[in-house]
Amino acid sequence: MSNQFQRMQDDLAGQTVLVTGAAGGVGRAVTKLCGERGAKLVLCDVTSTEQTAAVNHGVEGVLAVHQMDCSVRAQVEEVASTVGAVDVLIDTAGICPRDDWMHEDWDIAFEQVINVNVRGPINLARAFMPGMIERKYGRIVLCGSLAGWTGGLRSSPHYVAAKGGVHALVRWLAMRATPHGVCVNGVAPGPVASAMTDGQGYTPDDFPLKRLGTPEEVASMIAFLASPAASYVAGTVIDCNGGIYLR
Ligand SMILES: NC(=O)c1ccc[n+]([C@@H]2O[C@H](COP(=O)([O-])OP(=O)(O)OC[C@H]3O[C@@H](n4cnc5c(N)ncnc54)[C@H](O)[C@@H]3O)[C@@H](O)[C@H]2O)c1
């Protein structure tokens, strides 16, 4: 494959890419990368539009910024009706409370984690996948986690169960979307240096590469799955964990 063909395949020129969690570590990195590759970007986060816009200042190709709680179907549907057709959906919204499952309030946290991390992608897929199927093209990329495969390093059981659910959801969605030219995939990052891991006591020396991953490294995998280059990748969750299984 020539370099020119590869460049063309990575290109997102003219494609509308909706990113959730766009104010977060991975979300900002993937937003920037997709912008550099020519995407027209719709940025969504539960945080204020001002905050999401500010942390993505200077990013190329931003069409719109929305405050949207992906766990609330009505909010997702409202954004979908405003935005219209989307070629690529990238869901990086997520929460990972570090708490004690024996605590009396834990069940509230359980519901929040399941609502954001599992109901969120379901709401998003309900809003955007049918249009992709109709147009016979689309890419959906969800964020799973190492925790969803292994039980995690420091995560609580709601997060672990939610991310295992995301991995299963990738398969469920892909079974329905793939025959229509819509590729649904996921990434399963190991620990990544972002607000989610900040101050949680991860030790770089514990990992084969002697460091945590960067949001940009996860973004690079997501942008590949979001691109025409991933035309023969469907229903898979790709590890991006710095070789953590080598420990
Ligand atoms: N950081 C890690 O170590 C790591 C590891 C494995 C998987 N992941 C997953 O990768 C994704 C991105 O994580 P990150 O490191 O960028 O975390 P982050 O905390 O930096 O960003 C998450 C973003 O999601 C947004 N968000 C939270 N709830 C939301 C909701 N209900 N609706 C819309 N947006 C919401 C937050 O406001 C934030 O901007 C998450 O799904 C996370 O679970 C992260």
247 domain residue, yes or no: no
Is the beta carbon of 217 within 6 A of some atom in ligand 1?
A: no
Tens of pLDDT, residues 77-123: 999 999 999 999 999 999 999 999 999 999 999 999 999 999 999 99
2 domain residue, yes or no: no
- The answer to whether residues 192 and 218 touch, using CB atoms and an 8 Å cutoff, is yes
Is the beta carbon of 195 within 6 A of some atom in ligand 1?
A: yes
Is the pTM higher than 0.85? yes
The 3-state DSSP class for residue 47 equals coil
84 domain residue, yes or no: yes
Q: How many helices (H) and strands (E) does the chain have?
A: 9, 7
The closest residue, in CA terms, to atom 31 on ligand 1 is 69
8 domain residue, yes or no: no
The count of domains in the chain is 1
The parent domain of residue 228 ranges over: 13-96+103-240
Residue from 98, 97, 89 nearest 70 by CA: 89
State yes or no: is 245 an active-site residue: no
The CATH number given to whatever domain includes residue 189 is 3.40.50.720
5 domain residue, yes or no: no
85 domain residue, yes or no: yes
Is the beta carbon of 20 within 6 A of some atom in ligand 1?
A: yes
| Pairwise CA distance, residues 226 & 29, whole Å | 14
H or E element: which one contains 63?
Answer: strand 62-67
Residue from 183, 175, 172, 168 nearest 229 by CA: 183
| Pairwise CA distance, residues 36 & 121, whole Å | 25
Tens of pLDDT, residues 161-208: 999 999 999 999 999 999 999 999 999 999 999 999 999 999 999 999
Ligand 1 centroid to residue 2 C-alpha, Å: 36
